[in-house]
Each structure stands twice: as structure tokens, then as C-alpha cells.
Amino acid sequence: MIRILRLISVLLILAGCAAAPVLPQRPALHEIKTFTLTGRLSVRQGEQRHHLSLTWRHTQERDELLLTTPFGQGVAEIVSENAGARLKLADGREIAAADAAALAETVLGFRLPLAATARWLLGEVGETEGWTVRVLEREGEAPHALPTLIEFERGEIIVRLKIDAWEALR
């Protein structure tokens, strides 16, 4: 009986150790200036629902987003930099605007407060221009744990970003 109790104790200790994720070494959240992430995007507006896969490369000068269907078919590429923003669709059509927020308004019919998006992705949340941003999950409890599930909401529009992988640099 004592052997069984010892075995159970050891297994419980091992299970507790296995549950704690080991996070990669990376800078503090406020020091991250460049990142790449891959994930899945879900957009709900009333009864309409859209699902996309996403690869996002961010530097201080430029954002590049590649949107694909859940099966990997390219849908659109968005590039935003100081000179403006442009959307290239799978059929070759391009739409340009002065910035990413104006591009969103042209394409979606409403503005997105995109100037602070990179900081939102790193977990600096709150409310901007009527949008509420919440981090629902993180990689773990460590101070440098990055978000893995972020929700953006305004009225009947709910956008969820499930981040599958991060590469974050200074």
C-alpha cells in the first residue's frame, strides 16, 4: 500500500511538471519590435461568419499579412507601410489607400483602429475607437508569455485571433 501511494505521489509530481509549458527565451513584451505570427482568424458579424488562416510579419516600418483559406488557398496579401497600404487579392486585383485603417474602410465598409494593432497583438489591450480588445489566453503565466487568443469586439462584430506560433525579436 505504501508503494502504491509513493508511486501515485511521484506520478502526480511528474504530471504537474509536464503541465508547465517551457517558453522560449525572448525579450520583455515592451521590448518586442519585430515579430512573425501564424494563426487563425474568425470574424462574426451578425449571422455571417468567416474563417481564415493568417501569417503576419511585423517590423517598425512594415506589416505584411497573408490570408489563406483554412485549406491553404491564398485569399489576399496586405502590405502596410509609411507610404500607404495595399491589398492584393487572389485574382490579381489591387486596392490601395493612405493607411491600413482607410484600406479597411474601403474593403469592409468600416474603419478598424489599426495604428495600435501590433501592440494589441502583444497583449496591450483596452478600448480604442469603440473597439474592445481582450486577451483571452496566453502561452503561460510567465511575464513574457505572449497572447494565444485575442478578441476584438465592436457592436455585433467579433473578431477572434487564435495564434498558433510566435517568433518575437527586439
pLDDT digits (tens, 9 = 90+) for 22-34: 777 788 888 899 9
> What pLDDT shows up at residue 127?
83
Phi and psi, residue 102, nearest 5°: -65, -35
> What's the mean pLDDT in 105-120?
80
> 21-30 burial, b if ≥16 CB within 10 A, otherwise e?
eebeebeebe
Distances (CA, A) of 79 to 32, 54, 88: 20, 13, 9
Q: How many other CB atoms are found less than 10 A from the CB of residue 101?
A: 19
Nearest residue to 86 (alpha-carbon basis) of 71, 64, 58, 69 = 64
Q: Domain limits of the chain?
A: 26-169
Find the length of the chain: 170
> What pLDDT shows up at residue 5?
38
> What pLDDT shows up at residue 93?
95
Write down the mean pLDDT value for the chain: 85
Q: What percent of the chain has pLDDT over 70?
A: 88
**Between residues 129 and 90, the one the model is more confident about:** 90
> What pLDDT shows up at residue 12?
46
Nearest residue to 79 (alpha-carbon basis) of 105, 52, 61 = 61
Nearest residue to 123 (alpha-carbon basis) of 99, 103, 143 = 143
Q: What angle do CA 8, 10, 12 make, to 5 degrees?
A: 70
CATH topology (fold) of 26-169: outer membrane lipoprotein receptor (LolB), chain A (2.50.20)
> What's the mean pLDDT in 101-122?
82
